[in-house]
Chain A
Amino acid sequence: MSAITPPAHGIGLPVEREPSPPRGDNYLTHSRGILSWLFSLDHKRIGIMYLVGVLTAFLIGGIFALLLRTELLTPGPTFNSNKAEAWTFYNHCFTLHGAVMVFLFVIPAIPAVLGNFVLPIMLGAKDVAFPRLNLGSFWCWIGGAIFFTYVLLGGILNASFGWHLPGGYGLDTGWTFYTPYSTGQGPHAHSTDGTIAALLGVFILGFSSILTGVNFIASIHMLRPKGMGWFRMPLMLWALYATSVIQILATPVLAITGLLLLAERVIGVGIFDPAIGGDPVLYQHFFWFYSHPAVYIMILPAMGVISEVISTHSRKHVFGYNFIAYSSIAIALLSFLVWGHHMFVSGQSPLANAIFSLLTFSVAVPSAIKVFNWVSTMYRGDIRFTTAMVCAMCFIVMFTFGGLTGLFLGALSNNIHVTGTYFIVAHFHYVMVGSVLFAFLAGLYHWWPKMFGRMTDLAWGNAGALTLLVGFNLTFMPQFIMGAKGMPRRYATYPVEFQGYHVVSTIGAYVMAIGLFTIAFNLLHALLKGEKAPANPWGANTLEWHCPSPPPHDNFPVEPVAGDPYDLKSWQWDEATKQWVLDEQRARTVAGTEPTVHHH
């Protein structure tokens, strides 16, 4: 594998060199057999297994998104002439789409897949702090995911095809499980029979999330290499750290909320259900205390990926490193103070409404800082339009627009008009889907050569990304207008005046599907037929690019010494060998100086 440069141990600092691993011995080929994967303690293999799982969940959630959009093509029932069955089908579909996408795709996508793969290598470590826990977390995820999907999907299959899957209750509460609908004490209790099983699934998934968070926090604290102070960590690590803090502090509240809901249904303990003495608004406090920070579990790691990608592919030191790092932590902490903005019309007190509205706006500022810093990073750069970079720019478009539309929702009087409408649907899809999906894709394209040792095809990848961008805006821009005009969400049928918007939206969804399939084929093609990737195809300077592609089982034979992760000028393109070469002299100089080039 001549294309692989020998592992550079640290930034050219004199370190004892060990022989390179034998040709072809990387984590993929290190051991064989399905069991060597399923029970692997190697964070890279676990990351790849998460990738497969998360993409499967995305496929299922995506199929149901298309079914939803197709059902909404006309105001009347589309798939089934019986109205009651058609509405039930629609309600089951949107619940499945939302729940699968939130719990199984958006939350784990970046931390569990990309985080697991790159975090230890970025730390110059051999693995995460607790590899067994990491595997346990993966199995919790798989167990929870299969259980959860089975319950939700089973109901739809049973109803649509007359199957009799045992325990396939289906669920139509939406991913929010609002009481008392979900506690089923009221009429139509049978329609929420799936709550118990689905909540158990969520509980198990929560464990997965918590264990990953514990692992990442311990790893970042304890495994940083020599030379990597807190303010020399790659911003991806800051983002993952902030994400883990949220996972640790918020997820247990989801767990207890789930347990309380279970207790309501199973043993009749009334905390949330008014029929047995509870209060539904209290449930919403509990639920959003987790679920609002959970939005930041989704977006923070995405921001980390974007910081890496923009800097690397613009070949510029990231602008305002400290501001980006601090804003990650600020967002993580502030995210716990804004949960009530989901409850402005629910009967929450005006005082709490005012407090939460004010605090909500405070989160807008660190988010804005990040956007400005990313754009400034591009200034006077040497920008390469790799697919990762194109996806990152799409992310900026999505996130700017999605984030700014949040201003409507933070403002109390406007929120009251548009909450519970398609405006909300469009807003959170821009942030949670548009942004996170593009960041996830940017990360995949950025690290794909590292993961599999293969380069992706530029033209097809960019075409896919741009198709996705067009499709996405086509889908969700009309939803903003619909929402502002008063079209409520979760409606299986709607007044005819909205049909035009729905048709455009549905067409957009199909365009998105085309874009995503293009990307999927592009990645698969790279996997099978792609050009062999060098150790550092982008000339990046974070530590994962200092080890071969794909990395060997142990990542680094000797712990490397870290320098400034964004010192891209140390890598020079060598036209003769067609690869990036480390300028050791310069690296040594930079490693000995301040982490950033600012001077006070």
Chain B
Amino acid sequence: MSDETIEPSSVAAAPGEDHAGHVHVVPPWLLLAVFAALLVLTFVTVAITHFDFGRTVNVWVALGIAVAKATLVALFFMHLKWDSPFNGLVCVTAMFFVALFIGITLLDSKETAVNFQPPPVPAARPAE
């Protein structure tokens, strides 16, 4: 990673794709293919709501499809596939810390759920 100043971001493109200057240009077929995939996944995520796999699985299925779509957008529309790996690392790190934040907070919230329950009514009994 120490050589960006010498080799700024001359990201190598796969052979056979068109270029201009130092950065990769995405070919139209790929843009359209990604677009089509996104449409299909949108359809799938709506359609799948007609099936119930139970609360937890439903959420993870929906999230899984969303992650797949997000990955497509990030890799192709946002050029991460051809970009400096550092930019991808930035994106992944941010996601990781969001997950960390949500994960630990959720863990605590789950554990303390009992504390939202009001205590039993003090029974009107004489103290010993």
Interface residues in chain A, defined as those with a beta carbon under 8 Å from any beta carbon in chain B: 221-226, 228-230, 249, 253, 279, 281-282, 285, 289, 336-337, 340, 347-352, 355
Q: Is there contact, CB below 8 Å, between A351 and B5?
A: no
A274's nearest neighbour on chain B, judged by CB, is: B116
User: Could you list 10 A-B pairs, sorted by A, with CB under 8 Å?
Assistant: A221-B86, A222-B5, A222-B8, A224-B5, A253-B101, A336-B100, A347-B112, A351-B107, A351-B111, A352-B107
Q: Which residues of A contact B56 (CB under 8 A)?
A: none
Q: Which 5 A-B pairs have the closest CB atoms?
A: A349-B111, A229-B2, A352-B108, A349-B112, A285-B105
Interface 1/0 per residue, B95-127 and A, CB below 8 Å: 001001100110111011001000000000000
Q: Which residues of B contact A351 (CB under 8 A)?
A: 107-108, 111
Q: Is there contact, CB below 8 Å, between A289 and B112?
A: no
Counting CB contacts under 8 A, is B32 at the interface? no
- Complex Cα–Cα for A449 and B35 (A): 59
Q: Is there contact, CB below 8 Å, between A221 and B4?
A: yes
Q: A221-B86, A228-B2, A350-B111 are in contact. List 11 more A-B contacts (CB 8 A).
A: A222-B5, A224-B5, A225-B5, A229-B2, A230-B1, A253-B101, A279-B109, A285-B105, A351-B107, A352-B107, A352-B108
With contacts A222-B4, A229-B2 known, is A282 near B109, CB below 8 A?
yes
Q: Which residues of A contact B86 (CB under 8 A)?
A: 221
B97's nearest neighbour on chain A, judged by CB, is: A249
- Complex Cα–Cα for A221 and B8 (A): 10
Counting CB contacts under 8 A, is B92 at the interface? no
- Complex Cα–Cα for A282 and B107 (A): 12
With contacts A281-B112, A352-B111 known, is A226 near B104, CB below 8 A?
no
Q: Is there contact, CB below 8 Å, between A348 and B112?
A: yes
With contacts A249-B94, A336-B100 known, is A223 near B5, CB below 8 A?
yes
Counting CB contacts under 8 A, is B47 at the interface? no
B114's nearest neighbour on chain A, judged by CB, is: A349
Chain B nearest CB: distance from A496 CB in Å? 35
Which residue from A221, A223, A281, A336 sits with its C-beta under 8 Å from B97? A336
Counting CB contacts under 8 A, is B46 at the interface? no
Which residue from A226, A289, A336, A352 sits with its C-beta under 8 Å from B5? A226
B113's nearest neighbour on chain A, judged by CB, is: A349
Q: Which residues of A contact B20 (CB under 8 A)?
A: none
- Complex Cα–Cα for A336 and B100 (A): 9
Chain B nearest CB: distance from A594 CB in Å? 14
Counting CB contacts under 8 A, is B93 at the interface? yes
Counting CB contacts under 8 A, is B33 at the interface? no
Interface 1/0 per residue, B1-38 and A, CB below 8 Å: 11011101000000000000000000000000000000
- Complex Cα–Cα for A281 and B94 (A): 24
Q: Which residues of B contact A337 (CB under 8 A)?
A: 100, 104
- Complex Cα–Cα for A594 and B5 (A): 20
Interface of A is mostly: helix
Which residue from A221, A229, A230, A340 sits with its C-beta under 8 Å from B108? A340
Q: Which residues of B contact A224 (CB under 8 A)?
A: 2, 4-5
Q: Is there contact, CB below 8 Å, between B105 and A282?
A: yes
- Complex Cα–Cα for A370 and B112 (A): 38
- Complex Cα–Cα for A174 and B105 (A): 24
- Complex Cα–Cα for A7 and B1 (A): 29
Q: Which residues of A contact B107 (CB under 8 A)?
A: 349, 351-352
Q: Is there contact, CB below 8 Å, between B93 and A249?
A: yes
With contacts A223-B5, A230-B2 known, is A340 near B104, CB below 8 A?
yes
- Complex Cα–Cα for A289 and B108 (A): 14
Q: Which residues of A contact B4 (CB under 8 A)?
A: 221-222, 224
- Complex Cα–Cα for A282 and B1 (A): 39
- Complex Cα–Cα for A228 and B8 (A): 15
Q: Which residues of A contact B6 (CB under 8 A)?
A: 226
Q: Is there contact, CB below 8 Å, between B104 and A352?
A: yes
- Complex Cα–Cα for A592 and B93 (A): 35
A232's nearest neighbour on chain B, judged by CB, is: B2
Most buried by A among B6, B105, B108: B108
Chain A nearest CB: distance from B23 CB in Å? 15
B108's nearest neighbour on chain A, judged by CB, is: A352
Chain B nearest CB: distance from A523 CB in Å? 35
Q: Which residues of B contact A221 (CB under 8 A)?
A: 1, 4, 86
- Complex Cα–Cα for A24 and B102 (A): 56
B5's nearest neighbour on chain A, judged by CB, is: A224
Q: Which residues of A contact B93 (CB under 8 A)?
A: 249
- Complex Cα–Cα for A348 and B112 (A): 7
Chain A nearest CB: distance from B89 CB in Å? 11
B107's nearest neighbour on chain A, judged by CB, is: A352
Q: Which residues of B contact A350 (CB under 8 A)?
A: 111
- Complex Cα–Cα for A225 and B107 (A): 46
- Complex Cα–Cα for A470 and B100 (A): 42
- Complex Cα–Cα for A167 and B112 (A): 40
- Complex Cα–Cα for A337 and B101 (A): 9
- Complex Cα–Cα for A336 and B103 (A): 13
Q: Which residues of B contact A355 (CB under 8 A)?
A: 104
B3's nearest neighbour on chain A, judged by CB, is: A229
Chain B nearest CB: distance from A454 CB in Å? 33
